[in-house]
Amino acid sequence: MTAATSPLFWRDPALAFIEARTIADGRKVSYSLHAHEHFSIGAITSGRSFYHYGADTFQIGAGTVVLMNPGDVHACNPIENQPWSYQMLYIDTPWLTELQHQLGFSADQGYRPFDTPHTQDAVLYRGLLELYQILVDGQAEHLHKQTALVSYFSDVQQRLNPSDTPLREVNFKLERAAEYIRAHCTEALRLEAICQAAELSPSYLIRAFKQYYGLTPHAFLLNQRIQFARAQLREGQPIADVALAAGFADQAHFQRTFKQHFAATPGQYREALKPSANNPHWPPATRPLNG
């Protein structure tokens, strides 16, 4: 990747519940369908792209705010080599859930999903760009960043109230299958073991799991391994060790899968999150990745 197409990452140990990234030229950045355990929100800052969300595909452009609930399958990819750029924030679900509860949107203290995958709300769009600049500003005080975060995500809740429509009917056997995969994601899993844990036949599990989660059991497993690896890389663990610990057969397979999910190599991701010489706690602002 060139400097223009390389992702920029930002993270601050004092605000460990949030991570940011930006892409200045997304023409060479493609994702496979994937999901996150955290809440994601982003702003398309120029151009247009495809936005795959569940079974739907949208064309979105500059001025659009995209939202992904935890666990929702999605991907954003270029349209016929058209230039586009974006900024994204990834918020740990417990932090956002607590804010929802404080604002009265989550009486049972459980996360309330948003019912819109994207919006053209100009206030939320401008607010997200302003919040991003505050977060990456190395001179901004910690309290300023905290205040801006709470203020912006309070606006998100107020302007995009969670849907009051009933949630999908819970399939407890499929939930057990997913939980088994999460608990054993770093192991060499066999379909028979998942079926036994869920008390389901292989044919039903394969068909129903994808319909319920938007991913096959294998794709779900790879997604969980990448989430595990991401946490290890954030702790500065060697890439080769992370690949083996996450359950990948070799480092090359890990590199390919990680890039499909994050549009960045494991080395780019880890290096961007290292403390700098000028600031032993964290880099004062985002910086390009060239590796």
Region of residue 255 (phi > 0: left; psi between -120 and 50: alpha; otherwise: beta): alpha
Distance CA 224, CA 171 (A): 20
**Residue ranges of the chain assigned to CATH 2.60.120.280:** 8-159
Where in the sequence of the chain do the CATH 1.10.10.60 domains occur? Answer: 172-272
What pLDDT, on the 0 to 100 scale, is given for residue 232? 93
Q: Count of alpha carbons within 13 Å of 92, Cβ hemisphere only? A: 9
pLDDT by residue (tens digit) across 192-238? 899 999 998 888 888 888 888 888 899 899 999 999 999 999 888 99
Task: Specify the pLDDT at position 274.
Answer: 64
Give the torsion through C-alpha atoms of 214, 218, 220, 226, to 10 deg.
-140
Three-state SS at 250: coil
Residues 131-183: tens digit of each pLDDT: 999 999 988 888 889 989 988 998 999 899 765 544 456 789 999 999 999 99
272/290 Cα distance (integer angstroms): 10
Residue 107: band (very low, low, confident or very high) from pLDDT cuts 50, 70, 90:
low
Please state at what angle helix 172-183 crosses helix 202-213, rounded to 10 degrees. Answer: 90
Give the domain 172-272 fold. Answer: Arc Repressor Mutant, subunit A (1.10.10)
pLDDT reported for residue 203: 80
Which two structure tokens, joined as six digits, stand for 153? 């995500």
**DSSP, residue by residue, 174-203:** HHHHHHHHHHTTTS---HHHHHHHHT--HH
Q: What CA–CA distance (Å, rounded) separates 34 from 215? A: 8
- Quick one: 8-159 is in which CATH superfamily? Regulatory protein AraC (2.60.120.280)
Q: Determine the pLDDT at residue 229.
A: 95
Quote the pTM value. Answer: 0.69
DSSP for 72-126, written as a single string: --EEEEESTT--EEEEEEEE-HHHHHHHHHHHTS-TTSS----S-SEE--HHHHH
- Beta strands 18-23 and 84-91, pairing class: antiparallel
Helix (H) or strand (E) holding 60: strand 56-61
pLDDT tens sequence across 246-265: 999 899 999 999 998 888 89
pLDDT score of 25 more than 70: yes
Does pLDDT of 276 surpass 50?
no
If pLDDT is split at 50, 70 and 90, which confidence band does 103 have?
Answer: confident
Confidence of residue 279 (pLDDT cuts 50, 70, 90): very low
| Cα–Cα distance measured from residue 28 to residue 5, given in angstroms and rounded to the nearest whole number | 7
Using CB atoms within 10 A of its CB, is residue 181 exposed (0-12), middle (13-18) or buried (19+)?
A: buried
